[in-house]
Structure formats: structure tokens, C-alpha cells
Structure 1
């Protein structure tokens, strides 16, 4: 901001515009473009288009924001698999109308639709939305993600047997919940370090939202992945570090116990010596296994030669 408040410099972007730096006056008029991260040959590149869209909630009360990246050679007459990436925690939305860079272009080139959606309690709708999660973790997130899944599968260009949901930590919780509570809507789950029962997580976090297990026993039961194991279908892969001191590995062990006791098929990777994130020594394996899972289950073809080293 200039000393007299008449001018300011801002850096901005949106899903279709790489970051720009611009001088404006205090009425919003552009005085001068100072910098543009878009290279001179930018328009010569073919890349997957990203859009900001809004999906109506089931009850019609909210327009759920989402960013969707289409395959590079997108053709509405074809059907594509979908990767639905989420975090999902209260007041922790991830959808923004900002430039996403090129990190999602590999899968766009391979023919996968990629989407992120924020639910009604993500913070996008203020305190009113976040307050809905009090004593109700899992309920509204899963309802809105299920609505988004149904919307996707209703599109003529989506393969309605190949919707994968993925996330880590709270996102791992939502991915595991999607393959149990929400198994009618999702086909694959890729869950990192999931909470599976809120009694197992840090009280300083959980009790802000859920109160104590003694005060809210039904809420804890309704929010637990373990409650819905009998509804499990599709294919869930779980990854967890055995030294995770944030989401303790007992969360995964209790889910595995339930899944094996009911003879459910799933996949599990335990990373020895890893905490809530998988350290450098495990990162290559973690990345390679995701490649294998996506190619095998979403694309039905082998991993390209040389991709995994």
C-alpha cells in the first residue's frame, strides 16, 4: 500500500490464470501490470482445463464449491475415471479459485478427472456451517461428499464404476468412511493415516467438536468408521506409519481387526519408523504404490515403463 492509501500492489490468480502482480488504485483500476508468471509460449501448451464449479447440496441449502480438472484430451462422449481428493476437517476447506500449477497434469494427460470439493462445514459458509459439526463429526462431510459423488456419476463423461476418494489424516478418515458408510457412492479409497474412531484421537482436538465420549456416546458411535464395516465394499487401501504420534496406528489396527473378522478384502501398507508423514526413505515407495493402484484400478493398464524407479 502506498503511504497515502491511493495505490496498492497485489498478486493474484484464478484457476485459469497463473499468478500476476499488478499496481492498482484504491478504486480497483489497474494502473500497470508489473509481472506475469505466464511464459511467452504458454498458449502453445496443451493441458487439462481446470474449472471452479458449484454442486448443489442434497437439501438445496448450499452450493458446494469444487475445483475440477478435466483430462487433457477431454471428450464428453467418453467416460473417465475420477480421483476425488479431500481433507474434510471442520473449518479446513481446500477449494480456492487460484492457479493450481501443473502438479495435476500427469493424471490429466493419462485420462483421469480430478476433483476437490468442500462440504458445508468446511468454513466456506462461515460459523453457521462449521457449527453443524458440533457432536456430529463425519455426518455432514459424508452427506455432502456423497452428494458430489452422485452428481459426478450422473455425468455422461464419468465412469460410474471408477470413483476413487483419497486423503490423509482427516482425509484418511473420510476416505475410510466413504468405503463404509458411503460405500454405495464410492468405488475405491486410498486412505493415509486415518482416524477410525474418535475415542482414539487427541482429546484437545476431538472434545472441542464432539464433547466427551461420556457426554456424547451416540455421536462417537455414529462418527466411527468401525460402526459401518458391515457396509464395506469396493477396495480400500490403508497406509499408516507405525510410529505415528498424531493419529496413532491403533486406529488402523482396530479397522483391520474389524475388516478381517468380517472377511472383507482390503489392502494395507505399514511404514516402519514413520510418523504422521512418511519420511524420505518411504516416499518413493509411497509414490510408486499410488501409481500402481491408479493404473491397475482406474486405468486398467500397466504402469508406463520407466515411471517407477
Structure 2
């Protein structure tokens, strides 16, 4: 369990308990969203990409294999719903989603954004037009760079070094970053 890991990490003198980050995409994005809501007393920062936030919106072939149908397991679906715990959210979550994701529909992220806005919570939201469930090219490079900026800014509290920015940008294969 992720919360148990954080409890253990907090016992280490070299861990800053005010800066515990988590990141993931798809199911890992779901885990990230749950960590920042359900586990808000333990996780402070996260980047969630293409996240399931409501199992009612995901592929029934997969979901019902593990959770049964919503009619058979309403409590399970409620307990697995990120928005159930949104009122606990107090860290900083960066939500990332592609508009053409045909695996985890963007409606998942939109529902979470809507709930967090209704609650007056601070978060970041990045949309990748035309992005599917994962993307390549310039958008992937942009996402990596923005993620690195997020971690530097919020966990290290300093700007990302120019050489790190250049390395991430060069993965695009276009040479030096624009200025």
C-alpha cells in the first residue's frame, strides 16, 4: 500500500515529509489521483496522466472482471471514485489528458477538474489536442519538459537548469530549444 510506504519514508531523516510526490499514467494516473485525494495526508504533489477517475466510464470488459457491475457493487464503485475523496485534496495535482484518448476518455479528467473547481481547489490541467492514450512527437517532449518544470518548481523550489531543459528538448531531435 502506497500510504504505508510514505509512512516508512517519513521515518527517514533525509525525506522531507512536506514534499512527497507521485506520478503515473492510465491506472498509474488513477493511483496518483487517489494518492492526492484519499491519501492527501501523505502525498503532497502529483502528475496524473490519462487517468481513470470514475470506473463507470471505463471499459466494462476490464472493470467488471474485477469489480462486478455497478448494480452488483455500488459501494465498490463509490469507493473507487476519485471524486468521492476530492474534498480531502490539499496538495498540488497536475492533470494531463489527450482529447482523443479512446482508452480512458477525457471525460474522466473533466469530471475531476469540475469537482476540484466546485470545491475551490488549486490544481494544474494540461490538455493535449489530438492526444491519444499516450502520445509521441512534440507533444510528448512538451509533456516531459512541463513535468520536469513541475517537479523542479514544487519539490526542489528552483528553476530547472538550462542543461536539463536542453537535454529534454533535444530528445525531440530538433537541436537546441527555442528562445
TM-score (norm 2): 0.91
Deviation at 1:306, TM superposition (A): 3.8
Which segments of 5 or more consecutive residues in structure 1 lack a partner in the other structure? 1-143
Q: Counting strand residues as a fraction of each chain, which structure ranks higher?
A: 1
Deviation at 1:281, TM superposition (A): 2.5
**Matched residue, 1:29:** none
After superposing on structure 2, the runs of 4+ consecutive aligned residues of structure 1 that deviate more than 3 Å are: none
Matches of 1:157 and 1:259, distance apart in 2: 32
Report Cα offsets for 1:257-285 as digits up to 9, x if no partner: 10001100000000001100022120111
Determine if the alignment matches structure 1 residue 270 to structure 2 residue 119.
no
Determine if the alignment matches structure 1 residue 172 to structure 2 residue 24.
no
Matches of 1:252 and 1:290, distance apart in 2: 17
**Matched residue, 1:187:** 44
Bigger relative CO (Cα 8 Å, ≥ 6 apart): 2
Matches of 2:9 and 2:164, distance apart in 1: 29
**Aligned partner of 1:216 among 52, 56, 73:** 73
Deviation at 1:307, TM superposition (A): 2.9
Residues matched between the structures, number: 166
Q: Counting helix residues as a fraction of each chain, which structure ranks higher?
A: 2
C-alpha RMSD of the superposition: 0.8
Which segments of 5 or more consecutive residues in structure 2 lack a partner in the other structure? 166-176
**Matched residue, 1:247:** 104
Matches of 1:176 and 1:191, distance apart in 2: 6
Secondary structure (helix, strand or coil) at the match of 2:93 reads strand
**Aligned partner of 1:202 among 59, 81, 91:** 59
TM-score (norm 1): 0.53
Alignment of 1:275-290 (within 5 A): 275-290=132-147
